[in-house]
Amino acid sequence: MLRFEEHHAVRQTVRQWRSEGQTVGLVPTMGFLHQGHLSLIDWARAHCDRVVVSIFVNPTQFSPGEDLATYPVDIERDVSLLVQANVDLLYIPDTQEMYRPGHSTWVVEENVGTGLCGADRPGHFRGVATVVCKLFHRVEPDLAVFGEKDWQQLAVLRRMVRDLDFAIQIVGRPIVREEDGLALSSRNAYLTPEQRDQAPALFAGLQVMRQALQMEGSESAGIKQEALRFWKRHLPLGQVEYLEIVDPESLQPLKTIHGPALAAVAMRLGRARLIDNLRLME
């Protein structure tokens, strides 16, 4: 049975479970759940005795002018999905509870979070790291599960856990996609029919980059140009915010590719800001 508890009770419940020798997995979300979230929950369900899901639209990870006020919310639908997924506990923090008056303490990662989305969204990863740190303290899970679509977020949180000595395992799980290749995202709900028709070309352009690496050589600049040309033809409504080829762990840009490499992109498509990534070389 799905339990709903406030933060003091969440900690007590989880400590009771762990005192009984049960393992606890946490899946942090901002709600408006889709199959990508459910895949994370399914993994946690298969690997932990108990599963906790949090829903919190975190205001501190939104930059001025972004979609905080219009971010999609459907708690009733989310609860129904969580019941079907056999989640044990749902935690929905209150904003005033998470950020008390005069809040002035932040968790700031200063390396892997500075480029890519960190460059385009100042303060974003400060908000992410701070709220996840607070969730970890309140829930005290054995492990936490995140999707690899937000690859940079995953890298920031892994670094935070390592550097601040959290006894929590961070698990990254593969991107879940629609049949046409579009990565699942709550913000896909913003797309108009015409934008939705073009949106799968985002992932297709990353696949073009992988093909170019295999066919034309290792220079990153030329490989990126192949994707930009592809998107100009097949995704004319989109505006690229960034396209980079980076080391998957350090997230440092690569001029040439001779080992592990990740292509990462952010694109504006109408109201939606879409991100995606693809391993070009393992």
Q: 7, 8, 37, 137: which one is catalytic?
A: 37
**pLDDT tens digits, one per residue of 255-270:** 999 999 999 999 999 9
191 shares its domain with 254? yes
Residues 199 and 162 in one domain: no
Residue numbers in the known binding site for ATP are 30-37, 147-150, 176, 184-187
Task: Please tell me the predicted confidence (pLDDT) of residue 215.
Answer: 82
pLDDT per residue as tens digits for the range 90-121: 999 999 989 999 999 999 999 999 999 999 99
Mean per-residue pLDDT over the chain, rounded: 96
Domain assignment present for 180: no
In a domain, 207, yes or no: yes
162 pLDDT higher than 90: yes
- Tell the burial category of 92 from Cβ atoms under 10 Å away from its Cβ (0-12, 13-18, 19+): middle
CA–CA separation, 87 vs 42, rounded Å? 9
| DSSP at 201 | H
Q: Percent of the chain having pLDDT more than 70? A: 100
Predicted local confidence at residue 8, as pLDDT: 81
Q: Are residues 162 and 268 in the same domain?
A: no
78 and 102 fall within a common domain:
yes
pTM, two decimals, is 0.96
Same domain, 84 and 143: yes
SS3 211: helix
166 and 198 within one domain = no
Backbone angles phi, psi at 21, to 5 degrees: 85, 15
Q: Are residues 91 and 230 in the same domain?
A: no
* Domain span including residue 255: 186-281
Same domain, residue pair 169 and 190: no
pLDDT at 139 over 80: yes
User: 137 an active-site residue?
Assistant: no
Assess whether 85 and 197 both reside in one domain: no
| 39-60: average pLDDT | 98
State whether 159 and 204 are in the same domain: no
Residue-wise pLDDT for 171-199, tens only, equals: 999 999 999 999 999 999 999 999 999 99
Which pLDDT score is estimated for 41?
Answer: 98
Does residue 179 fall inside a structural domain? no
Q: What is the DSSP letter of 199?
A: T
Tell me the binding residues: 30-37, 61, 147-150, 153, 176, 184-187
Q: What is the CATH number of the domain that holds 23?
A: 3.40.50.620
The answer to whether residue 93 is domain-embedded is yes
Of 121, 142, 173, the residue at which a domain comes to its end is 173
With beta carbons less than 8 A apart as the criterion, state whether 52 and 29 touch. Answer: no
Write the Ramachandran bin of 123: left for phi over 0, alpha for psi from -120 to 50, otherwise beta: left
Query: Does one domain contain both 156 and 195?
Result: no
Q: How many domains does the chain have?
A: 2
Residue 216 has pLDDT above 80, yes or no: no
3-state secondary structure of 160: helix
Instruction: Report the share of the chain in percent with pLDDT over 90.
Output: 94
**CATH number for the domain that contains residue 232:** 3.30.1300.10
**Both 165 and 194 in a single domain?**
no
Q: What is the mean pLDDT of residues 201-214?
A: 96
